Amino acid sequence: MTTAPDVAPAGAPLADELDPRPVLRHEVLHRGRIVDLVRDDVDLGEAGTVTREYVAHPGAVAIVALDDDDRVLLLRQYRHPVRSRLWEVPAGLLDVDGEPAVDGAARELAEEADLTAGRWHVLADFLSSPGSSDEALRVFLARDLADVAADARHVRTGEEAGIELRWVPLDEAVARVLDGSLHNPSAVVGVLAAAASRAGGWASLRPADAPWPSRRGA
C-alpha cells in the first residue's frame, strides 16, 4: 500500500522555507579551488538517517543589463564541463567574504562587459541544482548603463579572454530561450524574469539589498 504525500493546508504561503535538518556527520571529500565535494549524514527524523554527497559552492550573481532600447546584453564564452560555447548574461562568484551581492554584481558587470549601472534591482533568486549543490544565485536587473573608462577596464584572461558580446532585443532573447537555443540557467531565468517583470510594469522588482536567506552564510 502506498502512502499519499502530505498535503499543504489551504491558504499556506506558496514559498520555499529554510528548514535545516540535523547533520550528524560532515566530511569534506575533496577541497577544490572554488568548490568542495562534501558528504553529510542527515537526520530526517521518522524517515531515518540518510547520507548525501553534494557540491559546496560560495554562491553567485548574474546580471540582466538592459539598455534604453529594451535590449539585453548577452555574452558568449566556452564552458568546458559541457564542451560548449554558451550565450549567457554577465555573472560571477561571490567569493569575497562579506561582500554585498550587489557589489559583486557591479564588479562582474564591469569585468565581463566593461559597463557600470546607475540602477540596480533584484529580479529573481534561484538554486542551481538543489539535489546536488548548495549554490544559490541572485539575478539582478541593471539599468542606466555607462561604459567603463578605457584605462580602467579589466584585463580578461582564460575563457573570458574570448568573450563575445551582443545586444539582443529582450523579446528575441525570450524566443531563443523558449525554442531551446539558450541553455545557461542564469540567462534562462534572467531573461524570462525580466520579460515577466516588464509585462507587469516592473512592479515585481525588489531592492538591490533585499533579504536573501538562501545565500550560504546569510
Catalytic residue IDs? 160
What is the maximal distance between C-alpha atoms in the chain?
70
Assess contact for 92 and 63: CB atoms under 8 A. no
Compute how many other C-beta atoms are within 10 angstroms of the C-beta atom of residue 113. 23
Q: Where are the alpha helices (DSSP H) in 120-183?
A: 170-178
Vertex 165, ends 188 and 191: CA angle to 5°? 20
Compute how many other C-beta atoms are within 10 angstroms of the C-beta atom of residue 53. 11
Place of cell 528575441: 172
Assess contact for 182 and 188: CB atoms under 8 A. yes
Q: Is 51 helix (H, G, I), strand (E, B) or coil?
A: strand
Place of cell 564564452: 77
At 155, give phi and psi (nearest 5°): -90, 110
Assess contact for 174 and 192: CB atoms under 8 A. yes
